Amino acid sequence: MSTDTAMSSRERYWVIIPAAGIGKRMRSDIPKQYLPLAGRTVLEHTLHRLSSHPAIAEIVVVIAENDEYWHKLKLDWVAKPVSTVIGGDERCFSVLNGLQYLSQRAEASDWVLVHDAARPCIRPGDINLLLSQCQGTDGGLLATQVRDTMKLADEHGSVANTIDRSNLWHALTPQMFRYIALKESLETAIKLKQLVTDEAMAMEAAGNKPKLVAGHADNIKITQPEDLSLAAFYLQQQFDQGVGVFDDGMADGG
């Protein structure tokens, strides 16, 4: 899908990036979204990828109340307006705070893309696929099919069963849903004390069936220390292939 197609609709697309976590598994004094990666921070790369898409109207970054790193970022290469709001103790609270911030801007039928701060390698072509394939649906998410054999463990850490992987997918981000549907789904989940771990889960609980959109496996989430070097490799590989940024409104490569 060309980006012209993405922008032909009167619908607007907003982005929320939950970035209030500290990433304990990284074993770092600095939250993982602020760790250095290929000359910038992880979050700066993520912002650049999303802001370069011509369909995006604005990005809302949800940060921790005591965040001491955000103001140090260099946002001169971010092409769209960026606002910040304070997040909550869990992802669902942070995303809802971002949605509430957008209440004076977004229409009920606008689309909202929620993307992990620690996924800096998202491809423009995958964003295009998400935008195009979710039209006429309840919304959806980027995902990749499970490739490895899956084992179910028992309470002793032994194999209880081998899971059929043919219908299993790894959930990625962005995850994209209509503004009001996502807001109401999260509000309901929180009211019922359902700790949803991603936006698709909240939509599922509300009776929706998010569409799985096949993305690239290099859209990794930086979680462990070794993921930083892998992300750096993917960024360099994408740069060498001409993938990763928009040029005059058109995505180069998928």
Rg (CA), the chain: 18
Q: Is the pLDDT reported for residue 202 higher than 80?
A: yes
pTM (2 decimals)?
0.91
Question: Is 136 domain-assigned?
Answer: yes
Task: Give 29-53 pLDDT, tens digit per residue.
Answer: 899 999 999 999 999 999 999 999 9
Q: Is the pLDDT reported for residue 84 higher than 60? A: yes
On whether residue 205 sits in a domain, the answer given is yes
Q: Is the pLDDT of residue 3 over 80?
A: no
Q: Identify the DSSP state of 29.
A: S
The mean per-residue pLDDT over the stretch 160-188 comes to: 96
User: Which residue from 225, 218, 220 is spatially nearest to 243, judged by alpha carbons?
Assistant: 218
Cβ–Cβ contacts within 10 Å for residue 187, how many?
16
Mean residue pLDDT of the chain comes to 91
Burial class of residue 85 in the structure, from the number of CB atoms within 10 Å of its CB (0-12 exposed, 13-18 middle, 19+ buried) = middle
Number of domains in the chain: 1
* Residue 11, pLDDT score: 81
Does the residue 101 lie in any domain? yes
What per-residue confidence (pLDDT) applies to 132?
Answer: 96
Report CA-CA distances (Å) from 203 to 57, 182, 184, 200, 224: 23, 7, 9, 5, 28
**At 25, is the secondary structure helix, strand, or coil?**
helix
Tell me if 204 sits within 8 A of 210, measured CB to CB: yes
Residue 39 domain-assigned? yes
Q: How many percent of the chain have pLDDT more than 70?
A: 92
Amino acid at 137: T
Distance from the first to the final alpha carbon of the chain = 10
The yes-or-no verdict on residue 5 having pLDDT over 70 is no
CB burial of 4-15 (b: ≥16 within 10 Å; e: otherwise) equals eebbeeebbbbb
Question: What confidence score (pLDDT) does residue 141 get?
Answer: 98
Rounded average pLDDT over 184-191: 98
In a domain, 62, yes or no: yes
- The verdict on residue 56 lying in a domain is yes
Range of the domain at 67: 3-249
Give pLDDT, residue 25.
75
Please give the backbone phi and psi of residue 230, each rounded to the nearest 5 degrees, phi first. -70, -40
Q: What is the percentage of the chain residues whose pLDDT exceeds 90?
A: 84
**pLDDT per residue over 92-151, tens digit each?**
999 999 999 999 999 999 999 999 999 999 999 999 999 999 999 999 999 999 999 999
Asked whether residue 23 is domain-assigned, the answer is yes
Q: List the one residue out of 7, 27, 215, 23 whose CA is nearest residue 121.
A: 215
Looking at the domain assignment, is residue 186 inside a domain? yes
- For 213, the token pair is 């959109």
What pLDDT, on the 0 to 100 scale, is given for residue 246?
Answer: 56
pLDDT, tens only, 215-249: 999 999 999 999 999 999 999 999 999 886 654 33
CATH number (domain holding residue 204): 3.90.550.10
